[in-house]
Chain A
Amino acid sequence: MTNQATLAIDDSTRGQAVTTGAGRRRSTPKVERVNWSATTILVLCAVTVLLPLYVTVSMAFKTQGQAVDGNAFSFPAPFSLDGFVQAWTLTNFPVGAAMSLLVTAGTVLATIILAAFASYAIVRNWERRLFRYSFFYLLGAMFIPFPVVALPQIQLTGRLGLDNPFGVILLATMFQLSFSVLLFTAFLRSIPMELEESARIDGATTWQTFWKLIFPLLAPMSATVGIFAFLYAWNDFMMPSLIISDPALQTLPVRQNLFQTQFSNNYHVSFASYLMAMAPAIIAYLFTQRWVMAGVTQGAVKG
């Protein structure tokens, strides 16, 4: 959204005010003083963030001999793909990745569609009691932690034949719904009615108005809602581990847990496996940063 832009503008004006104030040079053109000590401290802090990720990458490319020599921080010499080859077959990576992809894609799509549908209906019929109460009802899941309802959910999904990735999609979507409806309704309230009225004068039905006008307008919010559903579904361990009963259908994070004992001391295999499971989320984040950052701020302020 526009969030990033405001951040950037505010940053620069704020810095300007501080420097001019400090130097008492309000009339002369300001000299931008870079705070080198703060920069240095922050770079050191960034290293502590990156260190575990560096260890993951370097361990993954080591040979078995180098992986067990006790020095986690050394550079891989020689570079070896043995860890990836072994992890690929041991954890049946292609199936795990397919399951993670299925759960993630299903959760993202279902969350965006259901939340956008419900939010549009709620905002346009706010004066109706049913729609107004539905809003608060759907928001209720924000107050219910998954562990509280997990045990009956395990039983119910088992009885309904949903003890598989589709059950996880259903439950994950329902837990994402509150946050998503909150973001969508806040955004929909800011869309002027006149836009829709002109579409209706042109003879568009509500269904057409939604798909041709409203849904495209919601795109930046859908991006935020989608990336959060993606991160949740791709990374979650607790829900799939409890709901999916067949280990062969498990997602990537759960597979790391299932194969933990079989990795034993083959650290290059385990770290290659971790890296393959982690990388897609990090790559997705690097391409969608602005929506991730906007989503955190909006979710907190509106929640």
Chain B
Amino acid sequence: MSTITTPSSTSAAAPQKQRARRRVEPIFYFFLVPSLVLFTLAITIPGIIGIFFSFTNSIGIGDWDFVGLTNYIAIFSDPAILQSYLFTFGFSIVTVIAVNVVAFLLAVGLTSRIRMKSALRTVFVIPMVVSGIIIAYVFNFLFSNSLPSLGAAAGIPWLESSLLANPDLAWVAVVLVTAWQAVPGALLIYIAGLVAVPGDVYEAAEIDGASKFQQLLKITLPLVSGYVVINIILGFKGFLNAYDIIVGLTNGGPGTSTRSIAMTVIAGFNGGDYAYQMANATIFFVVAIVISLVQLSLTRGRNAL
């Protein structure tokens, strides 16, 4: 990050003195303060209130008492919450892998000598701009009506029943639709990485007799590894918040087999356990912070990107 020198402190000889003399123009406070106030009101205060109430037995309204860590202890033995964490992490890991494999291969294809390059790129980005819940309803129809009737017509028995009605396989549908929507973001980042790879390394490899597949594995992949890291972390962070697509596809079902952490928090709140779900949200927040710290430590010093 570069430091910006201001007009009055450009003389590096006495920056300390200059700084002391120069007053910040009041207009800059007018520029900055509205954002700070609204941000504090909309995000910081709710966050503090939430953490505060996670140590109480509040139901959202009326009287409450401090209950210490009771909520937190209860969460760690609550099968519904443990299941939502298990589902959300499992689903996120599978989706991250699927998205990155598909996006990387598509990016390699889209940066090679092909026809209709810009038209194809335009098409591949479309899933990113459609509403998650609406496209989930479209896929819901395809999974529960079209695929079974296709399966019946073709005589494939396992296709005849809806994927969404099967408690063991409904998560596959959630992965497919989430990946369908998440591939474009990862794809664009990989394209940016691939076009930055200088062409002459491939030329050299070619002369040394490396096959196309060897080039992909030994040259391309290591050279874009920074982009792989970024995509994995950005994707994982996003998938942990999964909500819209699951509501449209399975609404957490069958049973609670595809209920994400976010859905558990909201459903529990609607069911009246405010303080308990705030404790759950606070744990979720800590998880999100840990992942962000991992992101920072992995991407710091990768200025070559």
* Across-interface contacts of A200 in B (CB, < 8 A): 7
* Across-interface contacts of B277 in A (CB, < 8 A): 151
Cα-based distance from A73 to B35 in the complex (angstroms) = 49
Residue among A114, A125, A130, A238 making CB contact with B38, cutoff 8 Å: A114
Contact A174 B7 (CB under 8 A): no
Would you call B240 an interface residue if the criterion is a C-beta within 8 Å of the partner chain's C-beta atoms?
A: yes
Cα-based distance from A127 to B248 in the complex (angstroms) = 48
Per-residue CB contact flags for chain A residues 27-66 toward chain B (1 = under 8 Å, else 0) read 0000011111011011101100110110110010000000
* Across-interface contacts of A38 in B (CB, < 8 A): 109, 112-114
Interface centre among B35, B202, B288 (most CB of A within 10 A): B35
Cα-based distance from A284 to B262 in the complex (angstroms) = 29
* Across-interface contacts of A75 in B (CB, < 8 A): none
Would you call A80 an interface residue if the criterion is a C-beta within 8 Å of the partner chain's C-beta atoms?
A: no
**Which size class do B's interface residues fall under?**
35 or more
Contact A71 B142 (CB under 8 A): no
* Across-interface contacts of B134 in A (CB, < 8 A): 235, 253, 256, 274, 277-278
Contact B202 A18 (CB under 8 A): yes
* Across-interface contacts of B42 in A (CB, < 8 A): 153, 170-171, 174
Per-residue CB contact flags for chain A residues 62-99 toward chain B (1 = under 8 Å, else 0) read 00000000111100000000000000000000000000
Contact A138 B112 (CB under 8 A): no
Question: Number of residues in A with C-beta < 8 Å to the partner?
Answer: 121
Would you call A161 an interface residue if the criterion is a C-beta within 8 Å of the partner chain's C-beta atoms?
A: no
Nearest-neighbor residue (CB-CB) of B189 within chain A: A300
Would you call A142 an interface residue if the criterion is a C-beta within 8 Å of the partner chain's C-beta atoms?
A: yes
B residues 2-53 with Cβ under 8 Å of A? 2-7, 9-10, 15, 19, 24-25, 27-32, 34-36, 38-39, 42-43, 45-47, 49-50, 53
* Across-interface contacts of B124 in A (CB, < 8 A): 45-46, 49
Would you call B171 an interface residue if the criterion is a C-beta within 8 Å of the partner chain's C-beta atoms?
A: no
Q: Of the 9-residue stretches B67-75, B157-165, B190-198, which lies at the interface with chain A? A: B190-198
* Across-interface contacts of A45 in B (CB, < 8 A): 106, 124
Given contacts A49-B127, A72-B146, contact A20 B35 (CB under 8 A): no
Residue among B10, B31, B199 making CB contact with A18, cutoff 8 Å: B199
Would you call B87 an interface residue if the criterion is a C-beta within 8 Å of the partner chain's C-beta atoms?
A: no
* Across-interface contacts of A282 in B (CB, < 8 A): 126, 129-130
Nearest-neighbor residue (CB-CB) of A21 within chain B: B203
Given contacts A21-B203, A70-B149, A170-B38, contact A7 B135 (CB under 8 A): no
Per-residue CB contact flags for chain A residues 1-15 toward chain B (1 = under 8 Å, else 0) read 001001100110111
Would you call A257 an interface residue if the criterion is a C-beta within 8 Å of the partner chain's C-beta atoms?
A: yes
Contact B47 A193 (CB under 8 A): no
Interface centre among B139, B196, B243 (most CB of A within 10 A): B243
Contact B189 A253 (CB under 8 A): no
Q: A46-B123, A138-B35, A300-B227 are in contact. List 10 more A-B contacts (CB 8 A).
A: A11-B195, A55-B138, A73-B146, A134-B35, A151-B265, A174-B39, A236-B244, A274-B137, A277-B134, A278-B130
| 27 A-B pairs whose Cβ atoms sit less than 8 Å apart in the complex | A18-B112, A18-B206, A52-B180, A55-B142, A117-B35, A118-B35, A118-B36, A120-B31, A124-B6, A144-B285, A144-B288, A145-B262, A148-B285, A151-B274, A152-B45, A154-B269, A206-B28, A231-B128, A231-B129, A235-B132, A237-B248, A252-B131, A286-B122, A292-B129, A296-B188, A300-B234, A303-B234
Residues on A lying within 8 angstroms of B by beta carbon are 3, 6-7, 10-11, 13-22, 24, 32-36, 38-39, 41-43, 45-46, 49-50, 52-53, 55-56, 59, 70-73, 114-115, 117-118, 120-128, 130-131, 134, 137-138, 140-156, 170-171, 173-175, 177, 181, 189, 193, 196-197, 200, 205-207, 210, 231, 234-238, 242, 252-253, 256-257, 260, 267, 270-271, 274, 277-278, 281-282, 284-286, 289, 292-293, 296-297, 300-301, 303
The 10 closest A-B pairs by CB, nearest first: A17-B199, A21-B203, A10-B195, A152-B46, A235-B131, A121-B31, A147-B262, A117-B31, A121-B32, A21-B206
Residues on B lying within 8 angstroms of A by beta carbon are 2-7, 9-10, 15, 19, 24-25, 27-32, 34-36, 38-39, 42-43, 45-47, 49-50, 53, 60, 106, 109-117, 120-135, 137-139, 141-142, 145-146, 149, 180, 184-185, 188-189, 191-192, 195-200, 202-203, 206-207, 227, 230-231, 234, 237, 240-241, 243-244, 247-248, 261-262, 265-266, 269, 274, 277-278, 281-282, 284-285, 288-289, 292, 305
